[in-house]
Structure 1
Amino acid sequence: MGRQASKHVAASAGGPVASPPVTPAVPPCAKDPTDLPPRLSRSGADQPGNAVAPHPGKEAIADKPTAFTLADAELQELWQVIFGFEPEDDDVDRWLRSAFNFVGAGGDSIDGQSLPCPWGLRQELGGPCGVYAVIQAYIVRELLWGESGDGDCKALPRSPSAASTDVGTDSDGETGTTTSGSSTPRSPAAAQTLPEAVPERKDEVHNACCEALLAERFTQVNERDLLACVIARILHAAAPASRYLWCEVRSRSEAAKREFSSAGALREWLAGEEGLGISPCPMMSFVGSLVLTRGIDVIRTDMDDACVPLVGVFGHCSQELTNLCLTGCAVTNVFDGDLTFEDGPDVLKLKGIQESPDVGFLSALEPLKLCEVGKLLKNPRYPLWVVASATHYTMLFSDHCSANHLASGSWATEALCSGCCCTRSAVGDGAGAVAKLLHFNGKDFGADRPALVPVHLLRPLAGGPASSAACLTGDQDSRLFAEVLRCRWPEAEVSYPAIGDTAGEGSPPRIN
């Protein structure tokens, strides 16, 4: 995982002055108001190899974008921003050879111990795990909450019991009234703003239903369109203006760029016959496109140290690259807002997270007291989190925002999650409440295979003894994972229901 400068805060001579989250330097009006994040379409789902039909309006591509070969100086500067000076050849080679391949139907019982995950991305080479984890989280976001422009992908009906904890409620801005999404249709604009809750299910089948729903929806979408939509959405968050540069990396010494005026136009091209499907280096093309679209100078301004490469030692993702994928900004730290240190005329400013992203972040360095992840990353707009260990990145998620509702302490009166219209008191916070999550690890090399494992969070009964251990089962790796979860849900008891199942084949989550 990447460096986190927040762990070095105490070394400064001056005292820190915390700055609240502020508006990014580039004003939102820099983008064309019609340039919106793309939405998932189910067109062509019966034949995954087919290109999808263009969406109406500006998103449709009138002409094929021209590819311009990057000059040697441009390519050298791009590699320096990504890999730094004199990177190891093996590290660069792994990134160049990394691709976006789904586990697919053939991987439903890939290790005989985890849940089916045909929608999961395989990580077949070491290095880009941080990028894989973020893209994977956005894939789950699109499958569970994505909507097409023509309304094909509608939310499933909810049971009455789910209405009170529904994250997908519509609020009337003038009257202040809030109505459940089960009775009020959601507008496409609102669907882009607030997550729509998947229906509540019986406890004993919750995880099975969630993975079945994901698998079903995965068969209903075009795989290439799904990837194109996710990639274009991430680039939309990173773009300071309505100018998107796709960097088509062909080899270490050759790359070309194509320019698009909207994320929708980029998405249509990526999903087409000449887009992602024939890219020789899709992972590197995505990272290069992030850099060119954000702008090299802007990325260097984002960082605390402009000389730090996005890919670090051993080919690992830096925190800057992970944050660039998560938030669209290549900041160095994971705390909220900025920290300013003043020592006479000398001023040091450390940059952090400015607003809650769609996908959150949890770190294995936090229980070791080496960093502290801020509330903004711990409370994302959707119940999706990238989990970073010392050597790997994985993904944790739920199909219902109740996972974001399990808060404690001073957060009692705050919003449950940044996409929620009600406070914790409005949905109830009874003892014994359970949040059910799923953990995905896409590592697929050596002895590891992609795995989807259930994780349960339980709030202890009132007056009962607090658990001194996060998890009483599993190996050291799974115990550390449980401690990571307790940094986000301090009062929760963590359990892995796959352990001790009737088949005796259950495995705890792997985060390394």
Structure 2
Amino acid sequence: MGDNSSASNSNDERELKEIRNLLWGPSIRLDVFRRWSQGFEFTDIEPSALVQKQGGPCAVIAPVQAFLLKILLMETPGHSFSDLTLDKCKRLLIQALCNILMKCKVTHYRIVTLPEVCTEAKENANEDSEGNIRSTADDEMQREDPNTAVYIISSITNRIALYHTLLLQHNVQPEHRELSPKEFHERLGVLNFESIEQVEKYYTENFNALSGPYGVLLFMYTVLLTKGIGNVTSELSDTSEPLIHNTYGYGSQGLINLMLTGRAVPHVWDNDQDVGGLKLRGINQQADVGFITLMEQMRYCTVGSFYKNPKNPVWVMGSETHLTVLFSNEKRLVSPETPCETARRVFKSYDPDGNNFIPSALLGDVLSALDLVSDPEYVDIMRKKLDPENLGIILLNAFMDEFFPIDQRSTPDTFDLMHYNGIPGSNLANKVKYRKGTAILLESDLKVMCSSSNHMLTCLQTKWPNIEVNWHDGVPSLN
């Protein structure tokens, strides 16, 4: 196995270096690296809520929180947020990480590790006749199927990993010291696993790898390595800017999309779009967890239906600087669209300014997109009927009354929403806690007018234009 191990070691060192450059650029600012250096930690007051200690790592923490909530809401019936034990929350976290990794797997799972040296562990190790350090874990590793779990790092790093195993055996807690970016990357190792069950078992037995001071970084590297650097760069198209902003430390849209969908595409619209001969890649199928953003209201992007209408009532919410999570236990929020809802969505896709009318010249395009009769003669007749005063516009209500007179809706008129923000300082009394609100969808097609400071409502209106929400403890912060 020696030659293959050396080749694997060399390949992974190269790929980890490429991932480092893709994430951080040519140099890593120490303050940005420190902000990302945290583990996955639950808050005391809300057992299943993760804490984000500083700005930056929400590009990983918010998607992980969203998948955790998806599992809790949709796959764990009868749950109660307040009754969750720490062990249950740990299992939910590991399941969430595995959900994300399954979307990224190409050939096998490649778990990035950070082995640590400890004097007490060294003293419990033995030397063989040639002076090499060995332990009972050495023998276990020799018996391991090389295709199942392989340490593909140098022999000295293998020994460091064994020392860490001995720490666990002797119940010794390693003393963590802050690593420089250079030290962190020099110490990284890799484990290969063939099945997600093996990954889940590894994280269960080595939970400290997730909760330790570099747990978030290690998981991000694991996602990128499992996906493969070549696949990531081909999906990004443009790699001139790092995935983590080198000044402010926030994650790019490509990184967010990779965490949510397993694809590092840079845009949030549906499918690919051709703009001036350039193929701009978007979301290619309905997402398990959705995404909505304040930036759409500001005209910086267009979020497609695959993100706005996910399979589960959980959405990552984006502001200019931060990611939070919106969720609900109302499954009807993601039930299949009725023909009426499809018609409204398609009509409004030709009305990007939200005016509830379209230029009459676009009527044929809307009818065609809805698979309705769109022969030119018929379109002319309907254009005159829907715009009798020849104003050059067609109102949404007139269009719906003509083609969909029975207005069926799958979404309930009222429902509860919950919101998560992982930064303590953005919560009441600096305690990370889910915030609850009661939403109502007004019958009018006109948007609810809100002040420019109510970013929460502004963001929600990109998904539900006629929504109003009564938050029980004041409006939560998106920042």
TM-score when scaled to structure 2?
Answer: 0.65
CA contact (8 A) 1:360 1:386 kept: yes
Q: 1:148-179 CA deviation, whole Å, 9 max, x = no partner?
A: xxxxx5x45xxxxxxxxxxxxxxxxxxxxxxx
- The answer to whether residue 261 in structure 2 is matched with residue 327 in structure 1 is yes
CA contact (8 A) 1:98 1:281 kept: yes
- The answer to whether residue 439 in structure 2 is matched with residue 444 in structure 1 is no
Tell me, in whole angstroms, the C-alpha distance in 1 between the residues paired with 2:113 and 2:188: 5
Cα offset, 1:413, TM superposition: 6.5
Alignment CA distance shift 1:412-1:274 (3 Å):
closer
- SS of 1:436's equivalent? strand
Alignment CA distance shift 1:384-1:367 (3 Å):
same
Letter in 2 for 1:306: T
Match 1:246 to one of 111, 114, 120: 111
Match 1:387 to one of 303, 313, 317: 317
CA contact (8 A) 2:273 2:280 kept: yes
Name the residue aligned to 1:100.
40
Letter in 2 for 1:264: E
Name the residue aligned to 1:497.
471
Alignment CA distance shift 1:448-1:318 (3 Å):
farther
Q: Which runs of 5+ in 2 are unaligned?
A: 1-7, 116-183, 346-403
Name the residue aligned to 1:164.
none
Tell me, in whole angstroms, the C-alpha distance in 2 between the residues paired with 1:465 and 1:125: 40
CA contact (8 A) 1:336 1:353 kept: yes
Tell me, in whole angstroms, the C-alpha distance in 2 between the residues paired with 1:262 and 1:292: 15
Match 1:458 to one of 440, 444, 449: 440
- SS of 1:395's equivalent? strand
Tell me, in whole angstroms, the C-alpha distance in 1 between the residues paired with 2:471 and 2:310: 25
- SS of 1:315's equivalent? coil
Matching of residues 271-282 of structure 1 within 5 Å: 271-273=204-206, 276=209, 279-282=212-215
Name the residue aligned to 2:461.
486
- SS of 2:461's equivalent? helix
CA contact (8 A) 1:249 1:280 kept: no
CA contact (8 A) 1:432 1:460 kept: no
CA contact (8 A) 2:336 2:410 kept: no
- SS of 1:215's equivalent? helix
Q: 1:61-105 CA deviation, whole Å, 9 max, x = no partner?
A: xxxxxx96987544432210211112312112221x21111013x
Tell me, in whole angstroms, the C-alpha distance in 2 between the residues paired with 1:286 and 1:495: 35
Of Structure 1 and Structure 2, the greater helix share is in 2
Match 2:71 to one of 126, 139, 142: 142
- The answer to whether residue 61 in structure 2 is matched with residue 132 in structure 1 is yes
Name the residue aligned to 1:509.
476
Q: Which runs of 5+ in 1 are unaligned?
A: 1-66, 108-116, 147-152, 157-211, 416-423, 499-505
Tell me, in whole angstroms, the C-alpha distance in 2 between the residues paired with 1:319 and 1:245: 23
Tell me, in whole angstroms, the C-alpha distance in 2 between the residues paired with 1:215 and 1:228: 20
Match 1:213 to one of 80, 90, 96: 80
Coordinate RMSD, CA, aligned: 3.2
Cα offset, 1:118, TM superposition: 2.0
Structure of greater relative contact order (alpha carbons < 8 Å, 6+ residues apart): 1
- SS of 2:437's equivalent? strand
- The answer to whether residue 274 in structure 2 is matched with residue 340 in structure 1 is yes
Tell me, in whole angstroms, the C-alpha distance in 1 between the residues paired with 2:301 and 2:282: 12
CA contact (8 A) 1:69 1:257 kept: no
Name the residue aligned to 2:129.
none
Cα offset, 1:240, TM superposition: 2.0
CA contact (8 A) 2:333 2:412 kept: no
Name the residue aligned to 1:183.
none
- Is the deviation greater in 243-252 or in 380-389? 243-252
Letter in 2 for 1:230: A
Tell me, in whole angstroms, the C-alpha distance in 1 between the residues paired with 2:420 and 2:209: 24
Q: 1:415-442 CA deviation, whole Å, 9 max, x = no partner?
A: 9xxxxxxxx9999639981121101111
Tell me, in whole angstroms, the C-alpha distance in 1 between the residues paired with 2:52 and 2:106: 30
CA contact (8 A) 2:286 2:310 kept: yes
Cα offset, 1:491, TM superposition: 2.4
CA contact (8 A) 1:406 1:435 kept: no
Match 1:377 to one of 307, 329, 334: 307
Alignment CA distance shift 1:465-1:73 (3 Å):
closer
Tell me, in whole angstroms, the C-alpha distance in 1 between the residues paired with 2:260 and 2:406: 29
- SS of 1:365's equivalent? helix
- SS of 1:253's equivalent? helix
Tell me, in whole angstroms, the C-alpha distance in 2 between the residues paired with 1:432 and 1:136: 26
Alignment CA distance shift 1:235-1:457 (3 Å):
same
Tell me, in whole angstroms, the C-alpha distance in 2 between the residues paired with 1:317 and 1:85: 16
- SS of 1:457's equivalent? strand
Alignment CA distance shift 1:307-1:466 (3 Å):
closer
CA contact (8 A) 1:440 1:452 kept: yes
Greater Rg, structure 1 or structure 2? 2
Q: 1:346-377 CA deviation, whole Å, 9 max, x = no partner?
A: x3111000011111000111111121100100
- The answer to whether residue 23 in structure 2 is matched with residue 118 in structure 1 is no
Tell me, in whole angstroms, the C-alpha distance in 2 between the residues paired with 1:490 and 1:350: 27
Tell me, in whole angstroms, the C-alpha distance in 2 between the residues paired with 1:315 and 1:410: 43
Q: 1:464-508 CA deviation, whole Å, 9 max, x = no partner?
A: 6945414x7xxx54x12101111111222x22231xxxxxxx221
Letter in 2 for 1:411: E
Tell me, in whole angstroms, the C-alpha distance in 2 between the residues paired with 1:240 and 1:77: 18
Cα offset, 1:411, TM superposition: 2.7
Name the residue aligned to 2:202.
269
Alignment CA distance shift 1:459-1:277 (3 Å):
closer
Residue identity over aligned pairs, in percent, reads 26
Letter in 1 for 2:187: E
Cα offset, 1:316, TM superposition: 0.4
Letter in 2 for 1:285: L
- SS of 1:257's equivalent? strand
Alignment CA distance shift 1:413-1:223 (3 Å):
same
Tell me, in whole angstroms, the C-alpha distance in 1 between the residues paired with 2:304 and 2:11: 39
- SS of 2:295's equivalent? coil
CA contact (8 A) 1:130 1:393 kept: yes
Letter in 2 for 1:496: N
Cα offset, 1:449, TM superposition: 3.6
- Is the deviation greater in 443-452 or in 132-141? 443-452
CA contact (8 A) 1:69 1:256 kept: no
Name the residue aligned to 1:160.
none
Alignment CA distance shift 1:425-1:321 (3 Å):
farther
Tell me, in whole angstroms, the C-alpha distance in 2 between the residues paired with 1:234 and 1:266: 12
- SS of 1:101's equivalent? coil
Tell me, in whole angstroms, the C-alpha distance in 2 between the residues paired with 1:443 and 1:86: 27
- SS of 1:357's equivalent? coil
CA contact (8 A) 1:100 1:282 kept: yes
- The answer to whether residue 74 in structure 2 is matched with residue 225 in structure 1 is no
- Is the deviation greater in 246-255 or in 292-301? 246-255
